Structure 1
Amino acid sequence: MGKPIQLFNGKDLSGWKATGKTNQWVVKNGILTSPQSGSNLVSEQKFEDFKLHVEFKIPAGSNSGVYLRGRYEVQIEDSPKDAHPNAVLFAGVYGFLAANEMMNKGAGEWQTFDITLVGRLVTVVANGKTVISNQEIPGITGGALDSREAEPGPLYFQGDHGPVEFRKVVVTPAIK
Structure 2
Amino acid sequence: MEFDDFVRQRGAALVRLGHLLTGDRHLGEDLTQDVLAKAFVRWKRIKADPPDPYLRRMLVNAAISRRRLASSQEVVMAEPTETPGRDDLGAEAVERDAVWRLISTLPPKQRAAVVLRYYEDLDDTAIAAMLDCSRETVRSQVKRALDALRARLAKEGSDAGSAGATRNGGKP
Q: What is the TM-score of this pair, normalised by structure 1?
A: 0.26
Q: Using CA pairs under 8 Å that are at least 6 residues apart, name the structure with larger relative contact order, 1 or 2.
A: 1
More strand as a share of residues: 1
Q: What is the TM-score of this pair, normalised by structure 2?
A: 0.27
Q: Rg: which structure is higher?
A: 2
More helix as a share of residues: 2
